[in-house]
Amino acid sequence: MTKYKTEKRKARVGERILITEDGFSLGYYKSGDVFTVSSTTDKGVTGENDCFILHHEYEVIVGEHTPAPNLDEMDYDELIALVEDAMKTLRTRAYKNGYDQGRFDAKIEAPKSDQQKRDEIVAQAKEDVRRLLESDYGHDHEFIVNTAKRTVVDLRKIKGCTNIVRRGIAKCAPNDCFNAHIGKAIALRRALGWSVPAEYMNVPQPTEIRVGDVVEITEKTRRKLKTTVHRIENGIVCSNEPYMDFYLAHARRIGLLVTDPKTIDDTRAGKGE
């Protein structure tokens, strides 16, 4: 049974009222009836059935709620109907919630891994270099990449001459992975007198080893081995350097290696880069 929250005041047209007294109803209404007010006077109001109700016979409905049914008082058919209605409502609600959640999830991008962030920054650096070189009319640029010293130098020269107008230098931090593409972008910007984007100076370190990477492995004697990854088989890096694969397999077997391969250069430069 629906319960109502009411206020004791004069009703306005369009409001719903709950009958609380029926002493003057003449059988047209009774206590508990609900009407919508169609007109008002100083003495009372008129309901939608044209019955006149005195002001003291009603209260204005301002809220309502339906209490949960008492299952112990319901017969079998009523219980079945209640369960069916509940299941229908649950299915509708679940579908709507799932749809809304799907739309919400679609708007949220999965957080990028450090490797994805690094890949994007390397791609940005390549495009940066291409765009800046094209826009620097009247000048040639010579890049000197020194993988041993982990540096990149850009020599900016007057076009067709050997005169160096300005130079820019980029040096990789000792514990960072070297990448010539990022180094070129930094050196070029410095040679042009441009600022260096913060992302070039704070690139995440690689978390994946890929073919073409230069990796470093440390032995128990603290000797460091460096090799270029030629292929990866079952998660194990393989080199095309003579005897390197055989040695690494033997060293793993006898526990000589104390670190996993660590990428120290992921430039993987192609032709013309």
At residue 106, the pLDDT reads 61
Mean pLDDT of all residues in 12-20: 92
At residue 244, the pLDDT reads 80
Range 3-65 has CATH code 2.30.30: yes
Between 78 and 214, the more confident residue is 214
Q: Tens digits of per-residue pLDDT, 149-160?
A: 999 999 999 999
212 has pLDDT over 60: yes
| Ranges of each domain in the chain | 3-65, 114-201, 214-265
At residue 223, the pLDDT reads 85
Between 142 and 67, the more confident residue is 142
At residue 241, the pLDDT reads 82
Mean pLDDT of all residues in 168-183: 96
At residue 102, the pLDDT reads 62
Instruction: Return the number of other C-beta atoms located less than 10 Å from residue 234's C-beta.
Output: 5
